[in-house]
Amino acid sequence: MSIAETKKLFANDRFAAGMGAEILSIGENEAVCELVLNDSHRNAKGNIQGGAIFTLSDFAFGVAANPDEEIYCVLHNASMTYIKMTKGSVLTARAKVISRTRHTRTCEVTVTDDLGITVATGIFNGQVIVNNT
């Protein structure tokens, strides 16, 4: 799929879109997504909420693991390691498919900020669903 087709398909991801996640680029077995941070992404202590970082990572995984409309891959397991708090204003998640079978997709996701800091890394495993029922 082209980037325009991918963006159109993932516009239906209302949760990610509602928090401001956007697709920057796609390639074979990879996707890059971005989140411009604002006060709604902050926790009670004023830091960026781990859930915002996870959602951006999950979104990037979804884009990378679902390369066309024929594939329906849903997350069934994820392991995130939060490394550093961000002081930046933009987060970028890079998802790379490291294993692809007929039934599963595994992605390595790295989240960095616009200051060049690695904020989090994770392994995301998805199950390919043959029928969406």
Domain boundaries, the chain: 3-128
d(CA 83, CA 75): 22
User: Would you state the pLDDT for residue 33?
Assistant: 97
How many other CB atoms are found less than 10 A from the CB of residue 46?
8
The CATH architecture of the domain made up of 3-128 is Roll (3.10)
Helices (H), the chain: 3-10, 14-19, 50-65
**What are 3-50's pLDDT values in tens digits?**
888 888 888 888 988 999 999 999 989 999 999 999 999 999 999 999
Task: For 46-76, write each residue's pLDDT tens digit.
Answer: 999 999 999 999 999 999 998 777 778 899 9
Q: What is the pLDDT of residues 77-99, one digit of tens each?
A: 999 999 999 999 999 999 999 99
Q: How many other C-beta atoms are found inside a 10 Å radius of the C-beta of residue 90?
A: 13
DSSP for 99-112 reads EE-SSEEEEEEEEE
Alpha carbon distance 35, 105 (integer Å): 24
Q: Residue 133 pLDDT > 60, yes or no?
A: no
- Let me know: does 123 contact 108? Beta carbons within 8 Å: yes
Mean per-residue pLDDT, 114-127:
97
Pairing of strands 73-82, 118-128: antiparallel
Which pLDDT band holds residue 121 (cuts at 50, 70, 90)?
very high
pTM, two decimals, is: 0.92
